[in-house]
Structure 1
């Protein structure tokens, strides 16, 4: 069993959890309130004064935000049915007391359904690449530089927010027998969901784009991304 993937900065922010259980409960409630209503600086200021130590309002807010990151990490990376949550939290935060670990376990297990539901209900309007045209352009000389060779790649990207059959011809639509109202509805649907983009780049930038896409493709095969995709469909 591997510990949760949290950045060192997030772990540092969660060091404020080394407090009595009642304080940790307040921080967890503040984190859930953040998800519902956004940040509440007045509440963080009141908590920092209550703690009466080096914790400022900014520190309290950072802890609240780190708790939200912890909740999202658990929701998107951990299968609730196959993992001992308290053991996982203990491995991730070995310095926390049993009481605090139990509170964290209750927090992440009781609120993960809310996060999963929020992800599923979110109307994520992400464009998908469904077609691509490209051409190679070479400038061999100009009046300012006689010995010149510049290579450009010009691409037209056809993007759509809905899944499309790869064999579907996007530019040729059978409109025979359709009424004017149907044609207007089809055009409106395409206007809402489709976006065409012209991109021109040099060879070095194109190679960087290809590497970035290959890295993203490799990342998409990880369990974390599969859990996120599963939560949005």
Structure 2
């Protein structure tokens, strides 16, 4: 069978189609490094300078290679089917040989790291109350505001029975609570960035 790629995926690979075999090999090495260690912006900037393109073009090309291999693994393509799929995209025979070797080298590793059925706790509910400590034996006149929270987490069970609920009692002052809320807001905004969305899309594709 031949795999079908989205138009944006084809565009990400277009830069690679225009390159000589050595550059295709270098991109495969960058893709391998990305899988093992994550992105390396300095190397991408250097590659972009050499090819007179943008850093985003380099990143998209690497994402394109990885997504191509992930898609091939998802459909369990044979070496012949992968070769035909690559040639159909417009790659030369020599370029195809490099990509096919990369696929054969990485497919077993990708199958091994297929996303398992994680059973991590998830948010269930949050109850809170506002408290004020007015005095203590050492300080007769003080006002110490505190927020006490009951955070409950839900963990699903593989046998389909009722989920397990864990309660965690937490206590903090308003200053720390505002700081925590700001950090969570920053993390939420970061998760909406274009780069984070590309990473999320890559991870989603790994659910083979």
Q: Give the alignment's TM-score, normalised by structure 2.
A: 0.57
Q: Give the alignment's TM-score, normalised by structure 1.
A: 0.52
Residue of structure 2 equivalent to 1:31 = 31
Matching of residue 124 in structure 1 with residue 114 in structure 2: no
Matches within 5 A, 1:111-150: 111-119=106-114, 122=116, 124-125=118-119
SS at match of 1:191: strand
Structure 2 CA distance for partners of 1:126 and 1:90, relative to 1, 3 Å: farther
Structure 1: where are the runs of 5+ without partners?
128-158, 172-189, 193-226
Deviation string for 1:75-131 (max 9, x for gaps)? 1112437x532123222x1x21111111111111210111111115x562379xxxx
Matching of residue 15 in structure 1 with residue 14 in structure 2: yes
Structure 2 CA distance for partners of 1:38 and 1:112, relative to 1, 3 Å: same
Residue of structure 1 equivalent to 2:100 = 105
**Within 2, Cα distance between the matches of 1:102 and 1:77?**
20
Structure 2: where are the runs of 5+ without partners?
122-153, 167-205
**C-alpha RMSD of matched pairs (Å):** 3.0
Superposed displacement of residue 191, structure 1: 3.4
Residue of structure 2 equivalent to 1:136 = none
**Within 1, Cα distance between the matches of 2:92 and 2:8?**
21
Residue of structure 2 equivalent to 1:161 = 156
**Within 1, Cα distance between the matches of 2:77 and 2:14?**
26
Residue of structure 2 equivalent to 1:57 = 55
Contact 2:28 2:102 in 1 (8 A): yes
**Within 1, Cα distance between the matches of 2:29 and 2:8?**
22
Contact 2:31 2:65 in 1 (8 A): yes
